[in-house]
A = this chain, B = another copy of it.
Amino acid sequence: VARSGPTIYEVARRAGVSIATVSRTQRRIGTVAPETRRRVLHVIDELGYRPSGAASSLAARRHDAAGIVLPNIAGPYFAGVIEGYESRSVTDRQSVLILGTHGRPHATELVLDLAARVDGLVVLGRTIPDALVRQLADDGLPVVLVARPAVDGTDDVRSENLNSAMALTKHLLAHGYQRLVFLGDPDASPDAKERWDGFEAVHRAQFGDPVPAVRCDYRESSGYRAAGNILDVAPERRPQAIVAANDEIAFGVMRACRERDLRIPDDIALTGWDDVPMAGLVAPALTTVAQPLHELGATAAALLRERVRGRRTEQRRVLLPTRLIVRESCGCRSQGGGA
């Protein structure tokens, strides 16, 4: 538990100046005579001096760090958002602390701990209760929510779901499919809910009630299982198109179809959501809706920074556009691979 390193006092002594001057030099702030500056920098370099993060934070009442809280780290969705967030934060010279709640029961405790070491927090999806978010915000901690409706005193950044879901569903209808089914869990996230809403609205306008859906969470294995139930029926009752709430579910459906020698899109059409890297690489290439993962994270970082710097107090809510990516799985003819 050593880890000492030279302090500002040693630098000051060796350079023959006061610690204030070292601090000024080091932070390029205030005024320092060129000659003094050279001398100090030389000593700093010689000693390999680095200001202690803790001491700086304490004195300046600033951590130069922000945290991001998510359900888990792996998986293309979260990894993409983190990368966007991290990339932007590092550019602003802000340290990035991450915390995966992994459905832990004492997540609240962990988040409060985290909150004590950062200047602000980005919170994703279903991680912690609204009450906690509100408490943090009320305590004066800048908070930005991603893929989750804003709470008083917080900003949020989300991507568009409703219209894209409607466009996607209409596209499927234009193919002439009569029997569509939605695969996903509207209760799992606001995003999923809106995708469902869009599907439901268009489907109802066309066919009336009921609107068919099979509940299934975001995992490939869940999509695989759910697809099993859907597909193992008489061919004339089998859906002609499956609208999956995300790409991973769609991959599960593809696997289930493969096992049953059902061809996509000939025997059954399929769409996903997210446009993860593999979506364009599987066969058939997946028709899906792209959302800007990177930008989701980067925007959150930017909004948070504004608040941390006190540049803004009013709430901002950002809605990022999504894009329908038509490939082959919906029944459209391919125009070649597509990376």
Cβ distance A172 to chain B, nearest Cβ, rounded Å: 23
Query: Cβ of A96 and Cβ of B93 under 8 Å apart?
Result: no
Interface presence of A75 (CB below 8 A): yes
Of B2, B62, B281, which one neighbours A1 at CB under 8 angstroms? B62
Interface presence of A31 (CB below 8 A): no
Cβ distance A26 to chain B, nearest Cβ, rounded Å: 12
Query: Cβ of A53 and Cβ of B255 under 8 Å apart?
Result: no
User: Which residues of chain B are near A315, meaning CB under 8 Å?
Assistant: none
A 250-274 binary contact with B (CB < 8 Å = 1; else 0): 0110110011000000000000000
Query: Cβ of A116 and Cβ of B255 under 8 Å apart?
Result: no
Which of A12-20, A44-52, A156-164 lies at the interface?
A44-52
User: Which residues of chain B are near A112, meaning CB under 8 Å?
Assistant: 50
A residues 146-193 in Cβ contact with B at 8 Å: none
User: Which residues of chain B are near A115, meaning CB under 8 Å?
Assistant: 50
Query: Cβ of A90 and Cβ of B72 under 8 Å apart?
Result: no
A residues 232-262 in Cβ contact with B at 8 Å: 251-252, 254-255, 258-259
Of B5, B74, B83, which one neighbours A100 at CB under 8 angstroms? B83
User: Which residues of chain B are near A87, meaning CB under 8 Å?
Assistant: 100, 102
Interface presence of A275 (CB below 8 A): no
Q: A79-B75, A87-B100, A98-B98 in contact; A251/B224 too (CB < 8 A)? A: no
Cβ distance A138 to chain B, nearest Cβ, rounded Å: 10
| Cα distance, A63 to B53, chains bound together (Å) | 9
A 44-72 binary contact with B (CB < 8 Å = 1; else 0): 00001011111101100111010000001
Q: Which residue of B lies closest to A138 (CB)?
A: B48
Query: Cβ of B83 and Cβ of A73 under 8 Å apart?
Result: yes
Chain multiplicity (copies): 2
User: Which residues of chain B are near A139, meaning CB under 8 Å?
Assistant: 3, 5, 48
Of B93, B117, B277, which one neighbours A53 at CB under 8 angstroms? B117
Of B52, B82, B83, B251, which one neighbours A278 at CB under 8 angstroms? B251
Interface presence of A282 (CB below 8 A): yes
Interface presence of A114 (CB below 8 A): yes
Query: Cβ of B277 and Cβ of A220 under 8 Å apart?
Result: yes
Cβ distance A165 to chain B, nearest Cβ, rounded Å: 25
Cβ distance A196 to chain B, nearest Cβ, rounded Å: 25
User: Which residues of chain B are near A5, meaning CB under 8 Å?
Assistant: 139-140
Query: Cβ of B221 and Cβ of A339 under 8 Å apart?
Result: yes
User: Which residues of chain B are near A321, meaning CB under 8 Å?
Assistant: none
| Cα distance, A112 to B336, chains bound together (Å) | 47
Q: A1-B310, A309-B1 in contact; A72/B62 too (CB < 8 A)? A: no
Query: Cβ of A258 and Cβ of B278 under 8 Å apart?
Result: no
Q: A83-B74, A258-B283 in contact; A113/B93 too (CB < 8 A)? A: yes
Q: Which 10 A-B pairs have the closest CB atoms?
A: A53-B117, A54-B57, A73-B83, A54-B58, A79-B79, A74-B83, A53-B116, A74-B79, A50-B116, A2-B140
Beyond A1-B62, A5-B140, list 17 extra A-B contacts (CB 8 Å).
Answer: A3-B119, A3-B140, A50-B113, A53-B54, A55-B58, A58-B58, A73-B83, A73-B86, A74-B83, A78-B79, A86-B98, A93-B113, A95-B99, A221-B339, A258-B283, A278-B278, A283-B283
